[in-house]
Amino acid sequence: MISKIIAEDLITKAKKAIDSVDKIVIVAHVGPDGDAMGSTLALWHYLMTIEKEPVVIVPTPFPNFLSWMPGSECVLDYENNKEQSDKLIAEAELIFALDFNQASRMAKMADVIVNASAPKILVDHHLHPDNFANITISYPEISSTSELIFRLICRLGDFSMINLACAECIYTGMMTDTGAFTYNSNGQEIYIIIAELIKIGVDKDAIYRKVFNTYSADRLRLMGLCLYEKMKIYPEYRAALITLSQQEMSKFNYVNGDAEGFVNIPLSIAGVDFSVFMREDTDKIKISLRSQGTFPANKVSADLFNGGGHLNAAGGESYLTLTETVKKFEDALPNYKDFLE
């Protein structure tokens, strides 16, 4: 038996909301990752099984390494399907918002979702949720939204409705948001849930290979460039920084998702507890931050890069040039010395 994390009144409200409708839109954050796709698709499979009419809409396309996920072929991305998405959102009787805490994380979809007439249910594990939803199921102590979806379905009394496809999606999100159970993963019940998913038929080793071992040669060479030439270490601050310019990315035929995971690599160096990755996008610099132990990656992101996230995994953005962004970071690093263990 796993413990009842989600409050009873939220379960009651969610059940009532789901029971009374058919058309359900499920949305996630811009740049959907394994947990965004895992949680939305798991919920989609579940709602299909109980004979609802769900559709998953994500603000921007998901990376190729997630295209094996069952149901991903039915996912709409707002960027390329605006008209159809707007119609579905307008007709929706219920909207689930998964794996993000602020409406702005839906990027160009934010306004249309916030203003939609359908009631909204937020299911998420980031700190400080906005209150744009009618029902907010927010548990930052849980390491993935996919785990929360498992817990939600169970509490709705529908464990038996979790089919293999649904279980695979839940496992994928649990795995990706914990770096394959290497961080945020000391929760004992994670492993009880995994055991249940394996009983349903999930091949966890195969999912690991499908997510982590399907990159292109170009991606690996780009990683080589990052580690050989582009990684800077600040031993005094136990920090590392990797930057990638548009030019470097195009040299290696960069596609969406190719830099996934780069930010984690410097943490494998003895003496590095804080790692930052800056990637030059067309209109901004996208920044990923990771830490281990108690160093607050989310605080640095909030202070410097208009972002946020979790203690050990955060993100943000900068509208300065790449060089200016690096300078801002380096100038600020001494301010965080007290947070080092």
Q: Which lies closer to ligand 5GP via its Cβ, residue 219 or residue 310?
A: 310
CA distance 88 to 74: 13
# residues near ligand 5GP by CB under 6 A: 12
What are the DSSP calls for 31-67, one per residue?
S--HHHHHHHHHHHHHHHHTT-EEEEEESSPPPGGGT
C-beta of residue 112 within 8 angstroms of C-beta of residue 140: no
Q: Is 260 one of the binding residues for Mn ion (CB under 5 A)? A: no
Residue list 38-77, contact with ligand 5GP (CB under 6 A) = none
Q: Which lies closer to ligand 5GP via its Cβ, residue 99 or residue 168?
A: 99
Q: E strands along 60-162, which residues?
A: 76-77, 94-98, 120-124, 135-138
C-beta of residue 121 within 8 angstroms of C-beta of residue 149: no
State the minimum distance, in angstroms, from the CB of residue 99 to Mn ion. Answer: 4
Q: Is 124 one of the binding residues for Mn ion (CB under 5 A)? A: no
Out of Mn ion, ligand 5GP, none, what residue 124 binds, judged by CB under 5 to 8 A for its kind, is: none
Nearest to 37 by CA among 79, 6, 76, 81: 76
Take residue 38 and report the two structure tokens written for it. Answer: 């895992």
Contact window for ligand 5GP (CB under 6 A) among 155-163, 181-189, 213-221, 303-311: 303-311
The DSSP letter of residue 200 is H
Residue list 309-328, contact with ligand 5GP (CB under 6 A) = 309-310, 313-317
The DSSP letter of residue 164 is H
CA distance 45 to 151: 15
Q: Considering only residues 183, 308, 326, 329, which one is a binding residue for ligand 5GP as defined by CB under 6 A?
A: 308
State the minimum distance, in angstroms, from the CB of residue 97 to Mn ion. Answer: 13
Q: Is 280 one of the binding residues for Mn ion (CB under 5 A)? A: no
3-state secondary structure at position 338: helix
Out of ligand 5GP, Mn ion, none, what residue 147 binds, judged by CB under 5 to 8 A for its kind, is: none
Contact window for Mn ion (CB under 5 A) among 138-146, 161-169, 269-277, 321-329: 138-146
State the minimum distance, in angstroms, from the CB of residue 146 to Mn ion. Answer: 8
**Mask 90-119, x = binds Mn ion (CB under 5 A)?**
---------x--------------------
Q: Is 266 one of the binding residues for ligand 5GP (CB under 6 A)? A: no
Q: Is 177 one of the binding residues for Mn ion (CB under 5 A)? A: yes
State the minimum distance, in angstroms, from the CB of residue 125 to ligand 5GP. Answer: 9
Give Rg (Cα) of the chain.
20
Distances (CA, A) of 35 to 172, 178, 273, 292: 7, 10, 24, 20
The DSSP letter of residue 299 is H
What are the DSSP calls for 217-233, one per residue?
HHHHHHHHHIIIIIEEE
* Alpha helix stretches (DSSP H) within 177-289: 188-200, 204-212, 217-225, 246-251
Q: Which lies closer to ligand 5GP via its Cβ, residue 54 or residue 315?
A: 315
Nearest to 323 by CA among 250, 218, 232, 262: 232
Contact window for Mn ion (CB under 5 A) among 75-83, 104-112, 170-178, 282-290: 170-178
Nearest to 106 by CA among 128, 125, 130: 130
- What is the residue type of 207? I
**Mask 4-43, x = binds ligand 5GP (CB under 6 A)?**
-----------------------------x----------
State the minimum distance, in angstroms, from the CB of residue 317 to ligand 5GP. Answer: 5
The DSSP letter of residue 109 is G
Q: Which lies closer to ligand 5GP via its Cβ, residue 129 or residue 309?
A: 309
**Residues near ligand 5GP (CB under 6 A):** 33, 126, 288, 307-310, 313-317
**Residues near Mn ion (CB under 5 A):** 35, 99, 145, 177
